Structure 1
Amino acid sequence: MLANDSAPLSVLYIGGTGTISASCVRLSVETGMRVAVLNRGTDGKHRRLPDAVERIVGDVTDAASLADAIRGRSFDAIVDFLGYDEAEADRAVRVLGPHTKQYVAISSASVYGKPVLQTPITESTPVHNRFLSYARAKLRYEAALRRAYEEHGFPVTIVRPSHTYDDANPPLPGDWTVIDRIARGEEIPVHGDGTSLWTITHAEDFAVGLVGLLGNPRALGETFHITGDDVHTWDQIYTTVARALGVEPRLVHVPSELYPVVAPDWFWSELFVGDLSHSAIFDNTKIKRFVPAFGQRLTFHRAVQRMLAWRSENPGATAADPGTDALLGRLVTGYHRSREAFEALAPSS
């Protein structure tokens, strides 16, 4: 361990209240670590931090604010959920590097080359993504950190989550609005033909892998994806939710490349083209070798029951968004108009 055997590991989370990070913070506290969270001073909307967590207020995008927030402090590990591009990597090296023995950079499994030419994906699968700007920014972030490690010994560990969810954030494009449409019996647009294979991971399972890497000197300079072994087609994902709601799904299939046409400003549109439309199956051998406790505990068909229970307990936080509902309706309308247009081209009998 990087900490003295007699002292608990000290960890600083940058972010700490999001879908993935909140579960990591909770598990770190449960395992006896001294945990601090640095953000702009607010808890997550639906995720309270444990009372034992120290709150540090600072703006991670402002080098001076960040330096002031941790002045005179040191941590065995800093886990950065907000790092994005090379400028933020350079800031992490300059400002955070002197304060930690391990900097854990949260990147993304979207960096693996699309389309994937061989599965399962391993950490040595080529990285590039010509379709997704988010993935390209994460690749620049990784490259800058790797340079710092190779040239100066910056103690980085790179972690790549794939599609990770928790009870308050379902893994469906459109979030609770989609679930509301399913429950109402409305038609749901599904990208592609619904048969691409997709890996989804509950944040509580991800946390076991992430927390298990903290303080491990053998993890320095290494890259890991931390994903589950729970693989479904997209049709199966939507169908699992529908049947948990006690209804049959009404799915229509929309070509992925048409999402940016109908909804150019929607967060998910670029993701359909550059990530979600491609099958993603991962080999988790490496993280299991470093963290033997890591594994799939929450399969999606069981986690859905927890999500729907959370929905019942938090109706104000899970209501449909009218704008998103209208957007999904436009995609369904587009599907039917396209079908009518193709039917009109059919040769007459």
Structure 2
Amino acid sequence: MKTLILGGSVFVGKRMVKTLIEAGHEVTVLNRGKTPVELPEGVDLIVADRTDAESMHAGLANTEWDAVFDISGFVMAAGGSDAESLIDLLDGKVGHYVYTSSIMAYEQGLGTFPWREEDPSSTEGPETYGGFKAKMEALLVKQYGENGFPATIIRPAAIYGPDNNIYDMETPMFLRLQQGKPILVPHSGLVTMSYGHVDDLCEAMLASVGNSKALGEIFNICAEAVTVDEYVRVLADITGCQANVISVPDNIIPTLTQPAWGHLFSKFHHGILDIGKASRLLDVNPRFDFRVGHEDTFTWFKEQGWEGRTEPLIDKTWMSSWNFDYEAEIAAQIQAL
């Protein structure tokens, strides 16, 4: 199968390259060429900028694909190459287009759980992450219904795993635990989120290709949901370290001047997904539960040589990182109350 990945340099895109190669498919990656990356042998590269319509047209002209996996779709929100022009470029030239959306495409704060694919979508503007994902979903469903554009939408929950470049998730938590740093926990540790291993996401995207039941459909993909307390407890057990948990009073939260914990801990609402539809129509179920997936991720973390690291990692796309000095300052203030 001849496949194209839009965005294949980091995290999900990088793991998707691996998944497709292992399945024996021909792989081409399209990206801006600005992120230094060594693609595996046999993987071709198209350099094009998704915020530049002319660049995308030049890169994709006279190409045809059995499957296109769109993993970098949010960059289009920056302007230039919009969603409609991408569909025009691919119309009639792709056998199956798989779009990576997000749990953020749901209307956040819904009072019922779990969320299912037919529940309300975000009403935020397209300049926001969730708003853009919801807009793209609606466009693809419409294009399939009106013109037969062969699209499938995958909605993952909180994705973690090897190569994760969102540096306010498991990487700093492993470091806090190993170094005995305070772990600030808001909202009594009760916020509950569905998590999914990146390789389960990639395998679900591949499983949708060629499945007529997947066309024009949206699928939630994740494993189980856990509370913040459970998140910390499981990762502490995996690392073999004692967790130094500091509960953050609600009245302290508005006074914070910068992030003091991972972004998934700070929501006032839960994010719990139902994956029954994907199980029925795609015949996919997660290989990694929360614990096994994080054991796998901890093995990868140790292979990076990051144990004992004090210098923060910063991703240029998400601007996510950590500041252990600030966290220690807030912990000291709370303990002094």
**In the comparison of the two structures, how many residue pairs are matched?**
326
Q: Secondary structure at the match of 1:281?
A: coil
Aligned 8 A contact 2:11 2:165 in 1: no
**Aligned twin of 1:290:** 281
Residue 306 of structure 1, aligned match among 296, 305, 328: 296
Identity value in percent: 26
Given that 2:10 and 2:165 are in contact with CA atoms closer than 8 Å, whether structure 1 keeps it comes out as no
Please list every run of 5 or more consecutive structure 1 residues that lacks an aligned counterpart in the other structure.
1-8, 342-349
Distance 1:99 1:258, change over 3 A: farther
Counterparts in 2 of 1:264 and 1:134: CA distance versus 1, 3 Å: farther
Q: Counterparts of 1:76-87 in structure 2 under 5 Å?
A: 76-84=66-74
Name the structure 2 match of 1:19. 11
Quote the offset at 1:194 in angstroms: 1.0
Structure 1 match to 2:329: 333
- What is the correspondence of 1:246-265 to structure 2 with a 5 Å cutoff? 246-254=240-248, 262-263=256-257
User: Gaps spanning 5+ residues in structure 2: where?
Assistant: 314-319
Out of 199, 206, 209, the residue aligned to residue 214 of structure 1 is 209
Cα distance in 1 for partners of 2:59, 2:297 equals 36
> What secondary structure sits across from 2:178 in the alignment?
helix
Letter of the aligned partner of 2:198 in structure 1?
A: A
Output the amino acid matched with 2:29.
Answer: V
For 1:65 and 1:194, how far apart are their aligned partners in 2? 46
Cα distance in 2 for partners of 1:338, 1:175 equals 24
Give 1:198's aligned residue.
Answer: 193
> 2:317 maps to which residue?
none
SS in 2 for 1:160: strand
Larger Rg: 1
The letter for the 2-side match of 1:176 is T
* Pair 96,125 (structure 1): closer, same or farther in 2 beyond 3 Å: same
CA shift digits 1:74-119 (9 cap, x unpaired): 0122111111267631231222334213222211111222223222
Q: Which residue of 2 aligns with 1:68?
A: 58
Amino acid at match of 1:60: R
Mapped contact 1:160–1:226 kept (Cα < 8 A): yes
Q: How large is the RMSD of aligned CA atoms in angstroms?
A: 3.3
Matches within 5 A, 1:47-196: 49-84=39-74, 88-128=82-122, 133-169=128-164, 173-196=168-191
Amino acid at match of 1:77: A
Structure 2 Cα separation of the partners of residues 334 and 224 of structure 1: 40
Distance 1:326 1:61, change over 3 A: closer
Amino acid at match of 1:184: Q
CA 257–156 in structure 1, closer or farther in 2 if over 3 Å, else same: farther
Which is worse superposed, 69-78 or 168-177?
Answer: 168-177
Post-superposition Cα deviations, 1:280-323, rounded to whole Å, max 9, x if no partner, equal 2222111112222x222222322333333223322259834348
Comparing 94-103 and 239-248, the one that deviates more? 94-103
Q: Counterpart of 2:110 in structure 1: which amino acid?
A: V
